[in-house]
């Protein structure tokens, strides 16, 4: 309990420090309340699309171009590029507690960032069987560069918490909870449906059906295993229902995918996404992503299949969109990559000094968000 309280306090201090840093850099130029100053920090870019969906829902589409397109300097974007769970959660919170969008989004940010911290620490105990190492790993994850996304009016905190507690529920054989968690997981982000695959593999590993050396076909075909495995069908069923809704509203089952074209995203081979333009953000994100991919290859033999599949999906799927934009954000939730990294750091006599160094770079990355630099999109 002591470690959890420290981690939650650390999470709160990070959020408060974002405000203090922003106020310091602003140097009193704007006369706003502290809450409105904080909102101006955490509510940017996609946050306004979520606000639009919260207030207006999804619009009826009569022609494909209204979903989104990009042709050179001309483009059109629509709310169909975003999944519904986050904005509808804000709407629910607003209706229940009589709050506006900013207040509801702030409350949800607090709740799910706390749940993310608790989930990371809990999973760390499961993985390491060591509370101090789980504590260190949680600090590393949340003070690492670009982890500030967990405090923004974005989906990272919700997505991260749902993933972590899904793994935890599988570990404790709470399959009913897994089934419940799969519904929002699928509806919070487009890759939620694919995340069901590593979760299923983790289920098989935890039941000694899948290891690096074997795949027990006989065991998986047993009635008991099939019965328990059926809970994972909730993920594709949820996705199919959402696709039907998209068809009824737009005439396209995969309207969300078409809408991505408004952000200059199109399906392509992953390696073609790198260095597509000469601007600094594309170069930075390309080198950053290649470094992360190289690290994933290096550690692959030390992780179970389920976590390797999770890493691969989390990195390769965004690259199939033909862009490296937002890869720093997508990597922030790839928690298995930190597990071995934290083990390595734990061997050092200067491990908490390293955590401090990571925190410094964390604030440097946050500064890019404050000044609206493209590497933070």
| pLDDT tens, position by position, 192-207 | 999 999 999 999 999 8
* Predicted local distance difference test score (pLDDT) of residue 299: 94
Domain of residue 141: give its range.
2-56+79-257+335-376
* Predicted local distance difference test score (pLDDT) of residue 23: 78
Which conformational region is residue 68 in: left (phi greater than 0), alpha (psi within -120 to 50 degrees), or beta? left
Q: Provide long-range contacts, Cβ within 8 A and 24+ apart, for 352-356.
A: 355/136, 355/139, 355/140, 355/143
* Predicted local distance difference test score (pLDDT) of residue 245: 96
Residue 339 lies inside a defined structural domain of this protein: yes
Residue 264 lies inside a defined structural domain of this protein: no
How far is it, in rounded angstroms, from Cα 61 to Cα 248?
9
Total domain count, the chain: 1
* Predicted local distance difference test score (pLDDT) of residue 265: 83
C-alpha R_g of the chain? 21
pTM, two decimal places: 0.93
Nearest to 78 by CA among 282, 235, 244, 246: 246
How far is it, in rounded angstroms, from Cα 39 to Cα 19?
9
Q: Which two tokens stand for residue 288?
A: 């950053």
Low-confidence ranges of the chain (pLDDT < 70): 26-30
Residue 61 lies inside a defined structural domain of this protein: no
Residue 262 lies inside a defined structural domain of this protein: no
Question: Phi/psi of residue 74, each to 5°?
Answer: -95, 135
Chain-centroid distance, C-alpha 163: 9
* Predicted local distance difference test score (pLDDT) of residue 323: 84
pLDDT averaged over every residue in the chain: 91
Which contiguous run of DSSP H or E holds residue 26?
helix 2-26
Contact 345, 140 (CB under 8 A): yes
Is the C-alpha dihedral spanning 32, 35, 38, 43 positive or negative? negative
- Cα 95-33-55 angle, rounded to 5 deg: 25
């Amino acid at each position: 309990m002591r470690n959890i309280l420290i981690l939650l306090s650390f999470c709160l201090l990070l959020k408060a420090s974002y405000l203090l840093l922003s106020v310091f850099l602003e140097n009193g130029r704007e006369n706003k309340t502290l809450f409105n100053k904080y909102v101006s920090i955490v509510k940017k870019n996609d946050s306004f699309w979520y606000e639009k969906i919260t207030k207006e829902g999804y619009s009826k589409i009569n022609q494909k171009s209204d979903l989104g397109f990009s042709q050179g300097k001309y483009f059109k974007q629509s709310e169909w590029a975003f999944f519904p769970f986050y904005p509808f959660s804000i709407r629910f919170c607003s209706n229940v507690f009589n709050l506006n969008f900013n207040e509801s989004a702030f409350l949800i940010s607090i709740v799910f960032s706390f749940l993310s911290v608790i989930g990371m620490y809990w999973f760390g105990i499961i993985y390491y069987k060591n509370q101090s190492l789980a504590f260190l790993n949680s600090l590393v994850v949340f003070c690492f560069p670009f982890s500030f996304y967990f405090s923004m009016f974005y989906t990272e905190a919700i997505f991260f918490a749902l993933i972590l507690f899904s793994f935890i529920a599988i570990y404790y054989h709470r399959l009913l909870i897994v089934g419940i968690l799969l519904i929002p997981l699928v509806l919070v982000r487009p890759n939620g449906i694919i995340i069901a695959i590593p979760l299923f593999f983790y289920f098989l590993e935890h039941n000694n059906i899948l290891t690096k050396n074997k795949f027990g076909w006989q065991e998986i075909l047993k009635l008991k295993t099939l019965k328990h495995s059926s809970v994972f069908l909730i993920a594709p069923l949820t996705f199919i229902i959402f696709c039907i809704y998209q068809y009824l509203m737009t005439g396209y089952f995969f309207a969300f995918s078409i809408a991505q074209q408004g952000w200059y995203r199109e399906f392509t081979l992953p390696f073609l996404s790198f260095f597509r333009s000469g601007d600094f953000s594309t170069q930075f994100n390309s080198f950053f992503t290649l470094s992360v991919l190289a690290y994933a290859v290096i550690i692959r033999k030390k992780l179970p299949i389920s976590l390797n599949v999770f890493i691969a999906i989390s990195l390769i799927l965004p690259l199939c969109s033909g862009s490296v934009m937002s890869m720093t954000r997508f990597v922030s939730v790839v928690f298995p990559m930190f597990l071995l990294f934290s083990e390595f750091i734990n061997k050092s006599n200067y491990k908490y000094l390293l955590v401090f160094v990571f925190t410094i770079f964390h604030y440097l990355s946050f500064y890019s968000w404050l000044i609206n630099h493209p590497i933070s999109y």
